[in-house]
Amino acid sequence: MEKLLRLRKPQQLPVNVLGQQKKERGVENERSTQVDVVITINKINRAMSKDFLFAINTDMEEVIISESAKGTNKINYIERIKKSDNEMLYHAVNTLTSITKSSNYDATIFKAMDKVCQLMYSKHKKH
């Protein structure tokens, strides 16, 4: 399934998105027109329609995974993953937790690290 996102103004493009813009000259009036930028996003699986929530239990050395549908306050427990089963995910969630405890908390960095954790967990579920 694909989602189609249309951005009409170049300044709306995120910095990391490479969009192709081109100018065409009209034959009759020789004026410049700008073509809309179209970005397609492949929806990999159902996991992206929900937000996964991550917690870490350092005593038991495990990651606790829960989910919450967007727009709701209901949280559903999914599973616990031992550090020995996915050490990379454990360290990523540990870093995410450290970011929230930092005295100079930065929401942008938190969101980026959360996306890393979301991706790692989605890959973990596939294997």
What whole-number distance in Å separates Cα of residue 94 and Cα of residue 63?
9
More confident: 43 or 103: 103
Express each pLDDT in 30-54 by its tens digit: 444 443 444 433 344 444 456 899 9
**Residue 49 has what pLDDT?**
56
What whole-number distance in Å separates Cα of residue 41 and Cα of residue 112?
18
Closest CA to 96 of 124, 65, 126: 65
* pLDDT category of residue 70 using cuts at 50, 70 and 90: confident
* pTM tops 0.85: no
CB 68 within 8 A of CB 53: yes
To 5 degrees, how large is the angle CA 84–CA 88–CA 93?
Answer: 100
In angstroms, what is the C-alpha Rg of the chain?
Answer: 21
CB 37 within 8 A of CB 20: yes
